Structure 1
């Protein structure tokens, strides 16, 4: 387990109605969990229906009239064939797998443009992950941005290399990925430590075997370079950007590589790119602990709260549940077992949005009664596991490939990891141990990194708006503060509240500040705070 996926979610798979021995009431409730949670999870509140847009205003763009980087002319000047797709326009763009070898192998990335009525600019959007589909995100965001933003901008989704509709990164088959997810996240003995280490090595080897050269070239730096190719092909001299979660890291890396072509950039739910594996895991530990404390304090006010009437004792009860699952996984009627690893993700996934706390309550009530089916469904939801056992997306595997390449092959020894555990466990009895061991994640990744994350200050870029939420579990508020200070032109906007990311939280103050910046280019005053609405 290498940290917690901080991606936004794609459209939901069909609600499952399998025979797992649950009562009709529980099964109906479970279906509700799958349907609603998938619409809310990971930083996105309730999305409006995907809008059908008229693409008649879209004219095939001509590449920007500027010199291409030396050696990359055939990519920056390539002919792009645009076709209609669900009221938008779509195309394939070819990019080099290795930018250091532009005459070598290539890969294809998928681009979707939602035309704006009077668009003079193109707003690229990315939901995070790593591994989230920007195309899916663009479908949703056309209904989230204000009318002035939609009028002024084409909304552009570019699935990163290896992700979504772009040529995919292929690693473990479904049954092996099931085993990977179920691996004990906080090993108790040498055998379990070995199993944890082998799980990471096995996945990396599978990526290399099944994806070839692409497996070594899905780093954030290379994805950022792809974005610049698409910017030029759309005929835009500037790249305007709305990135959420890991999408903030991607945007910040772009700004570092291409400060002169940065337009208006919003980084919502910011990642701190300077954190190493230990501190990144520790940041998520504190973030998820805050979110769990907020859930517990809310739950104990209710008469039917399954953790009791004392928040601190209730969190201890959740920690005890995970320990019990480590020793004795719960058997399910379909033959699977709810392990501690599955339950960890099942709990974590409900903390991304306050509106999904009710599903954690349902899952805990069932688990305390010996029924692990709801927690398993939530874990499956987290990874887009479908009814037939396949996975709708590869996001749960892409995150490892990208993060380990970004880290440049750096990792901890087992001894160094163990030395860090007391600090993690003190910070969170529920999440600390698993996320502490997560710092070991890239130590055994077998693929050599060629493009680790650069130092980032984006000197020379115009004002960049960094947005943070005070009780964000996946990208803690301190990361937004840090990124805003690292960027030479960073401006910090704060939302007081719960949940992951801010713009689609329903906070009008945030929406007005972001929309004003995107339309007029004027950011709010640095340090502006939007109260919980």
Structure 2
């Protein structure tokens, strides 16, 4: 996740998925021409390091050819190259796809330690150009010691981009995010799931069946080998933290210093070991953990955007307004959808909780909607960006887990969730496109364990709507002695150099520069 100003559904054009601001640099999406889909999995649960390293040994160690990067506003030192990887790791002789990689060299070669890979969130985002933006906010000592390396994961941006060719209406965020109908019905969600899955099967090409977190992890190791690094340091955020944890599990002896920031529950504890389903379910607790911070802010005396006298009053006001907009939407000319309904308000609320800087905009929307008014329509996101980002997100979630196909399962989950977590109205337990996905996962999810070198530092905000603290604690427990965790007394998504605090930032910087982590788990007030 990027700390660059995040645009919400209310405020602008960036498409936010699960903790992700899609990169503006995404080009027009196109399906890749490649070999037929795999017939066997390339890794199994608890795959030993020796098996994973066998895949890496097959990689070409030909030096990369670095050249200019596409795009504007980039650091002039940033150069780009392409790493060719198998479409299908179960068939090393299969067609190759290109992974776009970027690099800015360490600023003090005399103290250079190696490469620091930035792993973006999503799924559906890339870090190819983050090294010229977010990466330049890293402390000088980090930039002195590391080559900053970014990449677009398979299917994203400039790495063999995919698209499902969805109808414009199905690109709306309140379609991708599975908000149920006002009465809790999931019928429309199931219909959207069938349309989306059919479109991805029709237009996604062979690559869309081979987009998964395990394959992203294998691609990362091919990038490491192509860089000529024996070990790779990385900073993974949100979904990128999960991808980094999976890489660390498959290739434990290829990791140098690993920072996992804003951690989803990689153990899948909320969903029977299924990370993908648990990533959605986590919004129940994440939003409930974080909304009180907004409510406290919005009830503070002297706040020009104050909504109520107490935090409890803010919550009650929001729930009443959402319910009223369910019944009586306010027309919103030029917006997509062209009305402010209860689910659009809820979606905007979730986005605003990612970034406390967006609290005023949310409060103003709530006040306007209470009067039956709307602000100017938000600028629509570029369609190519949405098509690409949504296709990769859907493919990753669906290929990473085995999802129920029966509407009754989702109806039951939505009903329970609506009763227990009214702010999210059942969305976290509802049907996504995975309910109709035509293929099953090619292998079981990679299980995160306590076996391997101790190279991990987790950093986690205490109040995070997308990746709640409870999920990070589950990851910490699973890693055992391999990790130390820094919990930050802060609100919002993205901890390090984002919405955290100076204490947490210092702990991460110190580890990257010196290799020293706190002696034990640390709380940064």
Category of TM-score, reference length = shorter chain: 0.7 to 0.9
Corresponding position of 1:22: none
Deviations, residues 161-207 of structure 1 (Å, cap 9, x unaligned): 011221112113461434573587113569x5232112122222222
Deviations, residues 369-418 of structure 1 (Å, cap 9, x unaligned): 223446x63xx7xxx714xx6646732342221111111x2336333333
Q: Please state how far the C-alpha of 1:519 moved relative to its aligned partner.
A: 1.6
Asked whether 1:138 is paired with 2:131, we answer: yes
**Equivalent residues in 2 for 1:104-119, closer than 5 Å:** 104-117=94-107, 118=109, 119=112
Corresponding position of 1:149: 142
Structure 1 range deviating more: 276-285 or 259-268:
276-285
Please give the TM-score of this superposition, normalised by the length of structure 2. 0.82
Q: Please state how far the C-alpha of 1:230 moved relative to its aligned partner.
A: 0.7
Corresponding position of 2:88: 98
Please give the TM-score of this superposition, normalised by the length of structure 1. 0.81
Counterpart contact for 1:269–1:469, Cα < 8 Å: yes
Structure 1: gaps of 5 or more residues? 1-6, 17-29, 45-65
Asked whether 1:185 is paired with 2:179, we answer: yes
Asked whether 1:518 is paired with 2:512, we answer: yes
- In 1: Cα distance, 2:384 partner to 2:279 partner: 30
CA distance 1:306–1:370, shift in 2 (3 Å): farther
Corresponding position of 1:53: none
Corresponding position of 1:54: none
- In 1: Cα distance, 2:6 partner to 2:295 partner: 27
- In 1: Cα distance, 2:51 partner to 2:312 partner: 61
Asked whether 1:370 is paired with 2:379, we answer: no
**What SS does the corresponding residue of 1:113 show, helix, strand or coil?**
strand
Corresponding position of 1:413: 406
1:121 to 111, 114, 118: 114
- In 2: Cα distance, 1:122 partner to 1:155 partner: 6
- In 2: Cα distance, 1:70 partner to 1:481 partner: 32
CA distance 1:356–1:223, shift in 2 (3 Å): same
**What SS does the corresponding residue of 2:430 show, helix, strand or coil?**
helix
Corresponding position of 2:347: 345
Asked whether 1:472 is paired with 2:471, we answer: no
Structure 1 range deviating more: 495-504 or 365-374:
365-374
Deviations, residues 473-507 of structure 1 (Å, cap 9, x unaligned): 11001111111111140211111111112111362
Structure 1 range deviating more: 238-247 or 101-110:
101-110
- In 1: Cα distance, 2:62 partner to 2:181 partner: 51
Corresponding position of 1:301: 300
Counterpart contact for 1:174–1:390, Cα < 8 Å: no
Structure 2: gaps of 5 or more residues? 22-49, 70-75
CA distance 1:38–1:525, shift in 2 (3 Å): farther
Corresponding position of 2:168: 175
Corresponding position of 2:73: none
Structure 1 range deviating more: 494-503 or 177-186:
177-186
Q: Please state how far the C-alpha of 1:421 moved relative to its aligned partner.
A: 3.7
- In 2: Cα distance, 1:503 partner to 1:215 partner: 32
CA distance 1:176–1:269, shift in 2 (3 Å): same
Corresponding position of 2:327: 327
**Equivalent residues in 2 for 1:62-73, closer than 5 Å:** none
Structure 1 range deviating more: 149-158 or 292-301:
292-301
2:256 to 237, 255, 263: 263
Number of residue equivalences: 475
- In 2: Cα distance, 1:469 partner to 1:103 partner: 43
**What SS does the corresponding residue of 1:410 show, helix, strand or coil?**
coil
1:385 to 381, 393, 400: 381
Asked whether 1:486 is paired with 2:488, we answer: no
**Equivalent residues in 2 for 1:19-38, closer than 5 Å:** 33-34=11-12
Corresponding position of 2:388: 394
CA distance 1:172–1:11, shift in 2 (3 Å): farther
Counterpart contact for 2:128–2:151, Cα < 8 Å: yes
Counterpart contact for 2:194–2:433, Cα < 8 Å: no
- In 1: Cα distance, 2:455 partner to 2:57 partner: 30
Counterpart contact for 1:216–1:449, Cα < 8 Å: no
Corresponding position of 1:88: 78
Q: Please state how far the C-alpha of 1:78 moved relative to its aligned partner.
A: 4.4
CA distance 1:513–1:364, shift in 2 (3 Å): same
Corresponding position of 2:290: 291
Asked whether 1:509 is paired with 2:503, we answer: yes
